[in-house]
Amino acid sequence: MDIEQIRTFLSVAANGSFQEAANRLYVTQSTVSMRIQRLEEYLRVPLFVRNRSGAHLTQQGRRFLKHAKSMLLTLEQAKHDIGLPSRFRASITVGARIALWETMLPRWIGEIRTSLPDVSLRCDIGFEDDLMRRLIEGTVDIGMMYAPQHSPGLKVEHLFDETLVLLTTRPNDPWPGDDYIYVDWGPEFYAQHSGFYPDMERPAQVVNIGWLGIQLILSNGGSCFLPIRMAESFVWARRLHRVPCSPEFKLPSYMAYPLDTDSAVLTQVLGNLRRLATVERQTRYS
Q: Is the pLDDT of residue 284 over 70?
A: no
Per-residue model confidence as pLDDT tens digits over 48-84: 998 888 899 999 999 998 888 878 777 776 666 666 6
Q: How confident is the model at residue 27 (pLDDT cuts 50, 70, 90)?
A: very high
Q: Cα dist. 120→81, 88, 131 in Å?
A: 10, 6, 20
Q: How confident is the model at residue 219 (pLDDT cuts 50, 70, 90)?
A: very high
CB crowding 179-218: b at 16 or more within 10 Å, else e: bbbbbebbeebeebbeeeeeeeeebebebebbbebbebbe
Q: Where in the chain is the domain with CATH 3.40.190.10?
A: 75-155+252-285, 161-251
Where are the extended beta strands (E) located within 169-261?
181-183, 205-207, 223-227, 241-242, 248-258
Q: What is the DSSP letter of 16?
A: T
Q: Where in the chain is the domain with CATH 1.10.10.10?
A: 3-64
Tell me what pLDDT residue 249 has.
95
Q: What is the dihedral of CA 194, 196, 202, 207, to 10 degrees?
A: -80
d(CA 109, CA 104): 9
Tell me what pLDDT residue 283 has.
72
Tell me what pLDDT residue 282 has.
75
CATH number corresponding to 161-251: 3.40.190.10
Mean pLDDT of the chain: 88
Fold of the domain spanning 75-155+252-285: D-Maltodextrin-Binding Protein; domain 2 (3.40.190)
In the chain, what percentage of residues exceed pLDDT 70? 95
In the chain, what percentage of residues exceed pLDDT 90? 45
Q: How confident is the model at residue 281 (pLDDT cuts 50, 70, 90)?
A: confident
Fold of the domain spanning 3-64: Arc Repressor Mutant, subunit A (1.10.10)
Tell me what pLDDT residue 197 has.
93
Q: Which of 95-104, 125-134, 193-202 holds the top average pLDDT?
A: 193-202
Beta strand pairing status for 142-145 and 90-96?
parallel
Question: Which amino acid is present at 10?
Answer: L
Question: Which amino acid is present at 184?
Answer: D
